[in-house]
Structure 1
Amino acid sequence: MTAKFDNSYARFPARFFARQMPDAAPAPQRIAANGALAERLGFGGDWIAGPEGLAMTSGNAMPSGAEPLAQAYAGHQFGGWVPQLGDGRAVLLGEIIAPDGARFDIQLKGSGQTPFSRRGDGKAWLGPVLREYVVSEAMAALGIPTTRALAAVLTGEAVYRDGFARPGAILTRVASSHIRVGTFQYFAAREDTEALQLLTDHVIARHYPQAETPLELLTAVVAAQARLIARWLSVGFIHGVMNTDNMSISGETIDYGPCAFMDHYHPSKVFSSIDAYGRYAYGAQPQIAAWNLAQFASCLLPLMGEREAAIEAATITIGGFTEVFQAEWLALFGRKIGITAPRPEDRALIEDLLNRMAVERADFTRTFRGLSTGTARAEFTEPLAFDQWSERWQTRLAEERDPEAVMATANPVRIPRNHRIEAMIASAVEDDFAPFETLMAALAAPFDPAPEFAAFEAAPRPDEAVARTFCGT
């Protein structure tokens, strides 16, 4: 292994984390090792697929330079304040300096209890590990900022959920960092201004070196999150649990729990079994992101000078979320219907299509992809609804140079559909990982038509549709 550790977070004062070794796995067995990502990080593809890589990703041996710890943070969970959360089933092994100088966190998720575990064993079972592996890598292939999956292993022990013994597993997760809005909230709630200043300086240096002040940091984080949420919406992604402790300061998608991709489109679509009131529905995600960012802004106020002026400046900055989000949304959805540089008046055309899709239960991914292949009309229960829209759309496309090429690069052919994920997990529990490997291959190049993966383009039959997704804790 040639990867180099440089653990800047471990150099913070002790109140930022708890030193914590992962539990050893009694009989580790590799499920997957991401060789390409390992090369990117400097581990080496052969190393991560070898015995030393298995030892690290199962928690059985720590490479030289690792300093395992569990991070402290707080958060609003479904709007309710929880003053202490923290890594309850994850251990940060340390930070890798990649060959190109970029810094990444290496974390084991599901490796046992920590001082922050709450009424839990700190372990993970196979289902959530495979779901996060598949969805995070699919998001990366779609070009959406995200944490990555370096490896998945079976631990050789049972984990009990809902009264059933399930196969235990560990995910090795890679992130630009695991610093969250909730990390700032943890110290703000304790009125620990020194820790807030240390954390602010650290985040600026690590993620936003162009920022020089807390207000400029807030501006940068608001813009990063606005663009991220717009990208989620552009592929029909629903995070499912947008608590403040699940919002990364770096602007990456993090914590794939009850996440899902929509089949038929509706703005109020919810999959998460714990989101009883639709707080984190597809169409609510921009508003929730802005709400979370307001909590982040409140944490920075003690560092921003005179309070009234700080509140005014922060309020204006949070208000800027909408402008950035709307601009990104229009650019993304404009391309989805073949418009390279959409104008403000094109928003009505896009929204009209979405409204018709919601009424007609049109499949989100297949409809948009079908615009360039001539098959979108078939996704509508009443094709006339599409025809009426299409007349105006074709008139607008006459002004574009190569709309089919634009749409082909903006609309994926395949997404990680919920029924495919559930079927893959069911097979894996029976020790059949072939569906996992096939699904990963199908999602590796999501914009490229591939006859061998044609079955993965299909929407679920009524008996296959997945109505609820679960956290796995």
Structure 2
Amino acid sequence: MEEMTKIPLSQYPKTSQFLKLKPDPLIPSIKEALNLHQSSNQQETEKLFNKPRTLKSGAYQFTRPESRPEYKHLLSSPNALEFLSLPQDSPEDSYYKSIVSGEKFHYDDKIWPYAQAYAGFQFGQFAGQLGDGRVTNLFTLITPNQGNQELQLKGSGKTAFSRFADGKAVLRSSIREFIISESLSGIGIPSTRALSISLLPKTKAQRERAEVCAVVSRFAKSWIRIGTFDLYRWRQDRQGLRELCDYIIEDILDELPVFQKGEFVKDQYKDITEGSDEEDLEGLIEITDSTRYDQMYRAIVRLNAKLVAYWQSYGFLNGVLNTDNTSILGLSIDFGPFSFMDKFNPNFTPNHDDVQLRYSFANQPSIIWWNLTRLGESLVELLGAGPDLVDDEFFIEKGIKKQQEEQTIKRVSSIIQLASVEYKHVFMENYNSIMTQRIGLKTVEQGDNDLIAQLLDLISKTKVDFNKFFINLQNSTDLNDTSIYLTPELQNRLSNPKDKIDQELNDELNSLLSEFIENYKKRLGSTTHKERYSIASKVNPLFTPRNWQLEEVIESMYDDNEDISKLQKLLKMSSNPYDPLKWGDELKDLENHWLDDEGETMTQCSCSS
């Protein structure tokens, strides 16, 4: 009966909501795109669809997936199919396979594939126009239960935004993105989703070596990034920026509960502001009558604060947190040299090009706020205008008058500063909530932040596996058992100290350990092991995919891409991290290997993909 509610992709209601914004003027309409597609002048067609160029205006460029000699569907995510109400046997459907691989594309009088335009600050420096250099946005799925979801293909060929790249994605990076998208979603971390991965057997890309290519179909409620705002700021396109904001407010944020209204004042979050420097809050205007653009900015700030709280709670590192990799919806997006942290090290970065540790684990919260500050700067006129000016005809056309500049700057500065307080509050509120649950505490109480800090200090020194530690803690009935907190190697070393260094380390760790256990037991009070386990097991994933496991699967696929059994196993374990009954009965030795063995830890990757 339930299967009857599923909708085959060929019959799915579709639209293309992003096309409400203005296109690249060189291909100004779907009609023109269709004429190009059908033209006998292939040189002109490829020039406008696939040749890199800088757009003078427009939010996107009409394009189409580049044709490849061969396509082979490898795997679709059952959880993603379920989320979209697509049949589980969709991979057997020829229409589905041809669409999600890029072999064919859907179009009608309101839908045509496109590539989004955006800019971005990369490693702190403005990089100009970037955009979807190897992505084709297909259409928006009007889902029965999950709102609108925009489906796109990554690795589908060159666009106007490809710059010096080839528009391809290699199998290696495609497997990584496919798995991590579904892993994060399975854990509960906000993320874009991966629907399928398709091999392009006869298409190669030159990276460190020649590698076979693939296409990942992925979806999200929106793919707009902070870098999208950077683009309009760079162009000095006042009207385009306003249209973008209105589209986000009306079509993207309208159904999100975090789109809150009301006062925005200095003492709204007393627990945070009381610890702030008075100088930081001096001269602020209290925003008691906010505009829709103020609310949009706050919503984006809050969503990203919540996202970073999840990252920090689970030891996830994106690796490249540029503004073009920062979603307005607070979604993990655009996965390159990402990693789950094996051992707790705040200074770890999975990106070997990040020599200054800009995107290290410890810096993720501040970097996302840096990106959100750039967003505030892009919105300076709209945030600074206030309710009296924001819909004024002169302001809409010409912007701020000279005599209004001082008040405008003061207002936008106040909003950004107040938003920074809100960002910290939302981050800490969510971080403390997740972390206390991870150690089996039902509520957050004063002092829990100190307890968590003690714990992190301890495991940073004992070098136990970060996520496995929480599993061992929740499973143990004896909180004094040192095997929870120490690796076997460290236990052996400390039980038989060979020199003064070992003895000093032993003394330090014993002190940290006894202090944490004492404070933890006191905080637990009368909470039983059963109660603690019930709380913790809901938020502690039994499996998180590590780089060494991904590499094993990638190597197996390069050896024999006909055998997808290891890829299937990794997807099952990654996308169902709380329920081992969904991991299947096959490849149990491999499952145990991934669960029990350590492999190479704290590895780094390049941005090459």
TM-score range, shorter chain: over 0.9
Distance 1:101 1:223 in 2: 21
Among 349, 353, 370, the alignment partner of 1:291 is: 370
Cross-structure match for 2:461: 359
SS at match of 2:527: coil
Confirm whether residue 390 of structure 1 aligns to residue 521 of structure 2.
no
Q: Tell me the alpha carbon deviations over residues 31-58 of structure 1, each in whole angstroms, 9 at most, x when there is no partner.
A: 1123442354355433444211111122
Cross-structure match for 1:16: 59
Cross-structure match for 1:455: 593
Distance 2:82 2:525 in 1: 45
Larger radius of gyration: 2
Confirm whether residue 51 of structure 1 aligns to residue 94 of structure 2.
yes
Asked whether the equivalents of residues 119 and 128 of structure 2 are also in contact (C-alpha less than 8 Å), the reply is yes
Cross-structure match for 1:95: 140
Distance 2:544 2:206 in 1: 28
Asked whether the equivalents of residues 79 and 575 of structure 2 are also in contact (C-alpha less than 8 Å), the reply is no
Distance 1:258 1:222 in 2: 25
Decide whether aligned partners of structure 1 residues 249 and 26 sit closer, same or farther in structure 2, where only a CA change above 3 A counts: same
Cross-structure match for 2:116: 71
Confirm whether residue 62 of structure 1 aligns to residue 62 of structure 2.
no
Cross-structure match for 1:332: 434
Letter matched to residue 196 of structure 2: A
Asked whether the equivalents of residues 83 and 146 of structure 2 are also in contact (C-alpha less than 8 Å), the reply is no
Cross-structure match for 1:201: 246
Distance 2:228 2:411 in 1: 24
Asked whether the equivalents of residues 419 and 466 of structure 1 are also in contact (C-alpha less than 8 Å), the reply is no
Confirm whether residue 427 of structure 1 aligns to residue 581 of structure 2.
no
Confirm whether residue 4 of structure 1 aligns to residue 13 of structure 2.
yes
Confirm whether residue 34 of structure 1 aligns to residue 63 of structure 2.
no
Distance 1:101 1:337 in 2: 32
Cross-structure match for 1:472: 608
Deviates more, 1:204-213 or 1:294-303: 204-213
Distance 1:98 1:69 in 2: 21
Confirm whether residue 146 of structure 1 aligns to residue 191 of structure 2.
yes
Confirm whether residue 160 of structure 1 aligns to residue 291 of structure 2.
no
Confirm whether residue 300 of structure 1 aligns to residue 382 of structure 2.
no
Deviates more, 1:69-78 or 1:155-164: 155-164
SS at match of 1:410: coil
SS at match of 1:32: strand
Asked whether the equivalents of residues 263 and 459 of structure 1 are also in contact (C-alpha less than 8 Å), the reply is no
Q: After the TM superposition, which residues 366-381 of structure 1 pair with which residues of structure 2 at under 5 Å, given as runs? A: 366-374=468-476, 376-379=484-487, 381=490
Letter matched to residue 392 of structure 1: N
Asked whether the equivalents of residues 141 and 151 of structure 2 are also in contact (C-alpha less than 8 Å), the reply is yes
| Identity across the alignment (%) | 29
Decide whether aligned partners of structure 1 residues 163 and 422 sit closer, same or farther in structure 2, where only a CA change above 3 A counts: closer
Q: Per-residue deviation at 1:156?
A: 2.1
SS at match of 1:282: coil
Asked whether the equivalents of residues 106 and 112 of structure 2 are also in contact (C-alpha less than 8 Å), the reply is no
Asked whether the equivalents of residues 240 and 272 of structure 1 are also in contact (C-alpha less than 8 Å), the reply is yes
Among 281, 284, 292, the alignment partner of 1:213 is: 292
Letter matched to residue 219 of structure 1: R
SS at match of 1:124: coil
Cross-structure match for 2:501: none
Q: Tell me the alpha carbon deviations over residues 243-262 of structure 1, each in whole angstroms, 9 at most, x when there is no partner.
A: 00000101111111110001
SS at match of 1:155: strand
Q: TM-score, normalised by structure 1?
A: 0.95
Deviates more, 1:311-320 or 1:75-84: 311-320
Distance 1:50 1:421 in 2: 28
Letter matched to residue 419 of structure 1: W
Asked whether the equivalents of residues 2 and 42 of structure 1 are also in contact (C-alpha less than 8 Å), the reply is no
Asked whether the equivalents of residues 376 and 416 of structure 2 are also in contact (C-alpha less than 8 Å), the reply is yes
Letter matched to residue 16 of structure 1: A
Cross-structure match for 1:317: 419
Among 249, 253, 257, the alignment partner of 2:328 is: 249
Cross-structure match for 2:159: 114
Q: Per-residue deviation at 1:141?
A: 0.5
Distance 1:73 1:85 in 2: 6
Deviates more, 1:193-202 or 1:56-65: 56-65
Cross-structure match for 1:413: 542
Letter matched to residue 565 of structure 2: A
Confirm whether residue 224 of structure 1 aligns to residue 303 of structure 2.
yes
Confirm whether residue 263 of structure 1 aligns to residue 342 of structure 2.
yes
Q: Per-residue deviation at 1:150?
A: 0.8
Letter matched to residue 253 of structure 2: Y
Q: Per-residue deviation at 1:459?
A: 5.0
Decide whether aligned partners of structure 1 residues 433 and 466 sit closer, same or farther in structure 2, where only a CA change above 3 A counts: farther
Decide whether aligned partners of structure 1 residues 137 and 237 sit closer, same or farther in structure 2, where only a CA change above 3 A counts: same
Asked whether the equivalents of residues 339 and 350 of structure 2 are also in contact (C-alpha less than 8 Å), the reply is yes
Asked whether the equivalents of residues 464 and 485 of structure 2 are also in contact (C-alpha less than 8 Å), the reply is no
Q: Per-residue deviation at 1:163?
A: 4.6
Letter matched to residue 25 of structure 1: R
Deviates more, 1:2-11 or 1:17-26: 2-11
Cross-structure match for 2:316: 237
Q: Tell me the alpha carbon deviations over residues 359-402 of structure 1, each in whole angstroms, 9 at most, x when there is no partner.
A: 12121011111111125234372573534422221221124362
Q: Per-residue deviation at 1:190?
A: 1.4
Structure 2: gaps of 5 or more residues: 1-9, 24-57, 261-290, 386-407, 477-482, 492-508
Q: Tell me the alpha carbon deviations over residues 422-445 of structure 1, each in whole angstroms, 9 at most, x when there is no partner.
A: 111111111242211111122232
Distance 1:27 1:157 in 2: 6
Distance 2:60 2:567 in 1: 35
Structure 1: gaps of 5 or more residues: none
SS at match of 2:329: coil
Asked whether the equivalents of residues 437 and 539 of structure 2 are also in contact (C-alpha less than 8 Å), the reply is yes
Runs of 4 or more, structure 1, over 4 Å off, are 449-452
Distance 1:159 1:322 in 2: 45
Asked whether the equivalents of residues 64 and 113 of structure 2 are also in contact (C-alpha less than 8 Å), the reply is yes
Asked whether the equivalents of residues 238 and 270 of structure 1 are also in contact (C-alpha less than 8 Å), the reply is yes
